[in-house]
């Protein structure tokens, strides 16, 4: 793999700034809880610069154990989650690459439970903060449980698990004041990030539209780390796991996210639940990114570095199967809250790499579950129990529910000749690697480039997406009180893209742009990757979306009938918004029930809107602030707006003029034209008309 030829190592640049010096002299020596001085708090102990992390690293174990046990019973991270049952259907045999049983026979379905989550907020926070989304899937295979525990972003903030407590402490509520909740726009987070150049790539993703998704059904998922697949002959192939949503990706804009959180804290949770309950089952395709060690050595970056990704243009994806979620939990606590994922849960044919963040997670997740669920017997909870036979000699402990029989609880034995024994053929065998080297607390030299892929991500975005990243950085950093932190962060951004740094500095009102910080490795420029952009991959579809129709008494029956027919044919749902929840009287004097009131159903909750009042109703709506906001927000959030002639006074009051996304629906083809416009999802060309960008 990359970096093996030099076999060099460097001290980590994590907490160093320009030239590698510490930003602040330490008045006291950092120690363990036992008072033992710590020489290096940046890197785990490993066998060689790129070797596996060692169990004897008492500094790592103490630090993560303390962190894992800080909260009970709520998860410290990923506390707010939504889950669902379903199945994984294999579509292409992977027997060429792995002996994993559930990846052998096309057409075979494996039961799964999936959980989606935000990272920073507590269990009672909101659904749409700017945040990473967890994407975890438990496969109940015939060889035991396989947990693919990842995120909706393919890279991470840090390279080494020893820094995870520091990262999370920095982004959580500040300990003296207990705010902000579920937000990264504060001093401690950006202080840490500005001193941690390896986080720059992830920051580009976190400040992009990926961090404010429209729906959990419309996010991608990634295993983040490099794993191994091992075939029946013991041959290894590296793999990265990718989930792709059938509905395509879609995000909201920042102003919309803020208003959704105000209108409905449970927006994502309801969306997932209602889709499954109505039979519109969410679906993702699973892809493998397969590559050999020889290919890894030619990439120019280290595949063991979790702050790096492999562009699809360099190594394409192989479609493997599909994930379908078709059943909501029967009990939220018993299933969604008590489900225990662990990256160490793998099956024969899948194995780990020496990624130092993954190595730490293998310990940390199990330790966390012991704290949260109170016993090593958490595997007996129904949501965690394997669906295949399970046999071992582990006994007793708190909350043991099974009743083992017999006098033998050890192995080897002769008193129970039919008891379980190891199986050298079918059992899990670790892939043998030649890892040797001095025991060191260092980062591999191949991990030292912190800016090249951050530049790749930024330069792969559309101008609109770049504007959103700039605006997000300005918003976040403007809430940082410490000027030196802002300056240091902008200085780091200069290594990503000079124009990015200039625009953020301008947005913050800095008198001059700070010079770029001195990188450990000068960044290079890679060819842009369209696969990294949401807008470049966006599907023109209304499938799985929701269209709202704002009506008053006298609404034309023919318009409603046409909308219901066309929207349903496009795979979307039409909902009625009215001044009163009791609904309105149509033009034929029949009552049209309402799904939302105007006050309780703002346009931020929907993907496209239609304004269809009567002539008199349109004049009344023009004097109603909630109705004006309904239309103005839909326009400002770049959505398609269909309207009847009766809506003219309201459109005028909201300042809405001609626009390709503002479609009259009167006439024979009007409704069809609106649906065609709504399939474009967003009208990004409108954005300069409704908001400025630094």
Instruction: Determine whether 550 is exposed, middle or buried from the number of CB atoms within 10 Å of its CB (0-12, 13-18, 19+).
Output: buried
Query: Which residue among 151, 152, 354, 492 is the active-site one?
Result: 151
Q: Environment class of residue 437 by beta-carbon count within 10 Å: exposed (0-12), middle (13-18) or buried (19+)?
A: middle
CB 638 within 8 A of CB 683: yes
Cα distances (Å, whole numbers) of residue 577 to 42, 137, 552: 55, 36, 9
> How far is 373 from 74, CA to CA, in rounded Å?
10
**Which DSSP letter does residue 335 get?**
I
CA 150, CA 224: separation in Å to the nearest integer? Answer: 6
Most distant CA pair in the chain: distance in Å? Answer: 91
Q: Give the separation between CA 209 and CA 527, rounded to whole angstroms.
A: 21
Give the contacts of 307 (CB within 8 A, at least 6 positions apart). 155, 156, 157, 158, 159, 198, 199, 201, 202, 447, 450, 453
Q: Which string of DSSP letters, residue by residue, matches 658-677? A: --TTEEE--STTHHHHHHHH
Residue 27 burial (C-beta neighbours within 10 Å; 0-12, 13-18, 19+): exposed
- The contacts of residue 483 (CB under 8 Å, 6+ apart) are none
- For helices 498-507 and 463-478, angle between their N-to-C axes, nearest 10 degrees: 50
The structure tokens listed for 326 are 């078709």
Give DSSP secondary structure letters for 224-254: -S-EEEE-TT--EEEEEEEEEETT---B--H
CA distance 368 to 339: 12
- Strand-pair partners of 283: 324
Whole-angstrom distance, CA of residue 202 vs CA of residue 130: 13
| Angle, CA 642 vertex, CA 641 and CA 643 arms, to 5° | 120
261 catalytic? Reply is no
Question: Rounded CA gap, 694 and 692, in Å?
Answer: 7
Q: Yes or no: say if 223 and 240 are a contact pair by the CB < 8 Å rule.
A: yes
Please identify which of the residues 78, 186, 201, 643 carries the catalytic annotation: 78
Tokens, residue 541: 């579809």
CA distances from 562 to 147, 534, 557, 672 (A): 46, 31, 9, 9
100: tokens are: 């994993």
78 is catalytic: yes
What six digits make up the tokens of 492? 């780091």
Give catalytic residues, as residue numbers: 78, 151
């Amino acid at each position: 793999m990359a970096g093996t030829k030099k076999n060099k190592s460097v001290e980590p640049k994590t907490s160093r700034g320009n030239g590698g010096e510490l930003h602040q002299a330490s008045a006291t020596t950092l120690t363990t809880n036992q008072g033992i001085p710590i020489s290096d708090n940046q890197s785990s102990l490993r066998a060689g610069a790129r070797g596996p992390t060692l169990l004897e690293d008492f500094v790592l174990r103490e630090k993560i154990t303390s962190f894992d046990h800080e909260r009970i019973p709520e998860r410290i991270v990923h506390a707010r989650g939504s889950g669902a049952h379903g199945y994984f259907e294999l579509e292409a045999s992977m027997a060429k690459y792995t002996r994993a049983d559930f990846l052998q026979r096309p057409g075979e379905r494996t039961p799964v439970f999936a959980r989606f989550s935000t990272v920073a907020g507590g269990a009672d926070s909101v659904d749409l903060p700017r945040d990473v989304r967890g994407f975890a899937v438990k496969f109940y295979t015939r060889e035991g449980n396989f947990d693919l525990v990842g995120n909706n972003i393919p890279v991470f903030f840090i390279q080494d698990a020893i820094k995870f407590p520091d990262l999370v402490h920095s982004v959580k509520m500040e300990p003296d004041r207990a705010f902000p909740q579920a937000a990264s726009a504060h001093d401690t987070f950006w202080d840490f990030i500005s001193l941690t150049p390896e986080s720059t790539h992830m920051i580009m993703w976190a400040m992009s539209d990926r961090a404010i998704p429209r729906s959990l059904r419309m996010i991608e998922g990634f295993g983040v780390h490099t794993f191994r697949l091992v075939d029946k002959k013991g041959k290894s192939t590296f793999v990265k796991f990718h989930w792709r949503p059938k509905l395509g990706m879609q995000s909201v804009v920042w102003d919309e996210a803020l208003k959704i959180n105000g209108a409905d804290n449970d927006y994502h949770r309801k969306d997932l639940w209602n889709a499954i309950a109505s039979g519109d089952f969410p679906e993702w395709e699973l892809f493998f990114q397969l590559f050999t060690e020889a290919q890894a050595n030619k990439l120019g970056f280290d595949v063991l570095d979790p702050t790096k990704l492999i562009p699809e243009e360099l190594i394409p994806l192989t479609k493997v199967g599909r994930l379908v979620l078709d059943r909501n939990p029967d009990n939220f606590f018993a299933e969604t809250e008590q489900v225990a994922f662990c990256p160490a849960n793998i099956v024969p044919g899948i194995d780990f790499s020496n990624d130092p963040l993954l190595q730490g997670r293998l310990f940390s997740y199990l330790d966390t579950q012991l704290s949260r669920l109170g016993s090593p017997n958490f595997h007996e909870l129904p949501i965690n129990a394997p669906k295949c036979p399970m046999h071992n000699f582990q006994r007793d402990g708190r909350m043991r529910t099974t009743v083992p029989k017999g006098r033998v609880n050890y192995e080897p034995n002769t008193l129970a000749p039919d008891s379980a024994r190891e199986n050298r053929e079918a059992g899990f065998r670790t892939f043998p690697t030649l890892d040797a080297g001095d025991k060191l607390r260092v980062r591999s030299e191949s991990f030292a480039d912190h800016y090249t892929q951050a530049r790749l991500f930024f330069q792969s975005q559309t101008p609109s997406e770049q504007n959103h990243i700039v605006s997000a950085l300005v918003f976040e950093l403007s809430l940082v009180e410490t000027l030196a932190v802002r300056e240091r962060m902008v200085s780091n951004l200069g290594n990503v893209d000079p124009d990015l740094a200039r625009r953020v500095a301008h947005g913050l009102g800095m008198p001059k742009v700070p010079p770029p910080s001195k990188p450990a490795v000068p960044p290079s420029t890679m060819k842009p990757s369209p696969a990294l952009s949401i807008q470049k991959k966006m599907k023109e579809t209304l499938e799985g979306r929701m269209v709202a129709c704002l009506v008053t008494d006298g609404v034309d029956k023919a318009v409603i009938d046409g909308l219901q027919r066309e929207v349903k044919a496009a795979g979307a749902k039409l909902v009625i918004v009215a001044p009163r929840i009791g609904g309105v009287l149509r033009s034929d004097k029949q009552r049209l029930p309402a799904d939302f009131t105007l006050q309780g159903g703002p346009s931020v909750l929907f993907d496209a809107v239609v304004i269809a009042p009567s002539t008199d109703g349109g004049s009344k709506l023009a004097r109603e602030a909630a109705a004006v906001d309904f239309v103005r927000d839909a326009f400002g959030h770049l959505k398609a707006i269909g309207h009847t002639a009766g809506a003219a006074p309201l459109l005028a009051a909201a300042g809405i003029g001609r626009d390709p996304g503002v479609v009259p629906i009167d006439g024979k083809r009007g409704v069809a034209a609106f649906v065609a416009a709504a399939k474009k999802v967003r009208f990004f060309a409108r954005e300069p008309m409704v908001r400025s960008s630094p």
